[in-house]
Structure 1
């Protein structure tokens, strides 16, 4: 299903973009013909119907709309159009959609990209076509490591940040023997890998690991294996519907309180689906929470008015912020050429209303503070979506993997 929205900028500074189409044989790519009257097209490629639909999905389209509307106040004569599609968590479908958008519909950037396998495939395509990939909902740290690209920016968080922050916090309380239940694709593999590095650095050990397919319904076998391992911590290296089902079934199997539960990637929609009774006491790392500042609350109010009262997840916040930063860079550079746009995003810190000060590194990592939260008990919540209490702030330079350690070939 495709959703389109067109926003015309107010009269003012015109953007001059290339009007000729040229083939570059050496680079194997074609330039996108565009002029000041043609719209900049943003493709929101998301999971609209699967396990990440609540974390991203239609909410990501809404977040992109809000960014385009805010940009219209400063856009001059530049027009912006949004298109969206469901990648169905299949890399081949995501890649085919991205190719169609680039070749037939003139899309200049693709944003959101929940599902790391899809994000990696699309990032590589955008590198080949010299267009920008805004991986705002993709978590694999490989996007700023061995698979980094000069045309990709990864916003919000990644597996290194999530795994490291969670492992350090829990191991610091003496819970150092872990068993992983891991979703069997790029996200889960990276989450387990990055959390294991941090756990071992804190003196911890891994007692074992079980893999499960994406969108699994039955967690009996991995949970029984975890119980029999003797580990202190059951670490869930998955997210969305899989994480929710695993937590619910862990309660049914009586895994807690014998084992402590560590969910390595929890978003607000997941906590909402679990309910505070099941989720209370869960500690998590997040780059965004709707009730943290005046800026986040203002954004959440606008978002909720269009989403039947739902509050935004950090994925939704990432779509808004990365889209707005991209549009400003296009306006300032007068081009949609990916390398030049990303270079402009790196030039100076971005003052973002949702994430605070953001800097984009050479490896494509958008760096900002990360926060440690604990899920409130039901008695402490004032109402729907009042779920988290702040425990600690992790400064951006500590929250994300040091650039020199990621293996990104762009880093010198």
Structure 2
């Protein structure tokens, strides 16, 4: 199927796009950071062609968001406890998870889901397109761009309860079917969705996200001292790993690698962790003690964006031991801020890093420890990785992201697009 529409809607007014900003509450990890970054990028759209509304809940700091978005952006409250629910019939593709949960055979099967319905609310605001940045999207009849982000529950079902896995599977398949366009961050997850959900490849578009980090130039010595004193760290003397404590983030594997280095003798890096310690992370606090790393590991919790940028710039390196990612913002953040990286060799990460990071098997603790030792002790290696990381992120920009979504919004709405517009989309960098 070509992206060119032979017949479609001719634009007569600015296209009104609703952005799902419910993840901008600071509790949603990478999705929340993407939401904030994209909210700021809305300023790059032509206001004569696009206008925006942000769908938020009552716990969102609207004043903070208003400072990011274009003047005149509307805010629409969609508190889910006040929305009505309806039963929705859907067709499921019987992948392994569906077969196991429902005893289905190969092919399609029918299911029913009780879901929140925002149809009346959306129609009252006359949205042309809904951009669903959150996986657990909202029911409506507006043309939608949907982000499932990843299908981790199918690859690591042990990290979810049976109820959580079933809920994700039903919701993801429902919105992948209902969406006009599915947007993903990498070719790897595009291929995964095609395979797991039997989705036509022409419905899925890969638009890589861009770092939300901003390099803090000429940071005053007092600002650096304040951060170092606040968190009791020394510049250039720690590893940073920014991630909520979800199991797939593999903090425990990183702790075990540091413990192995400690047993083997030689330098043992200190580790600084940022991101919320959620309900899955409480056991990690005990693991630090049991592994004898109490003086080496610091949990800072959620830090401000400015502080996080400074921490990247002060760290000797970033280590990302995750077991599953559709794409890793911390890789691009570290590249942007000149912090050398070692990361897992899983999913899309090798393609994303593109030679700018040392790779390791996240299930091989000895290999991870060896890579950490190399990165920690070899200054020439770190310099080479910094240079390559800079080359990788130099190909990316929020301008390109905005151009791509401008095309997708018009496509979702049903507009006719020229071959030159589509060629521009295809030419922009993806991984």
TM-score by length of 2: 0.34
The structure with more radius of gyration: 2
TM-score by length of 1: 0.35
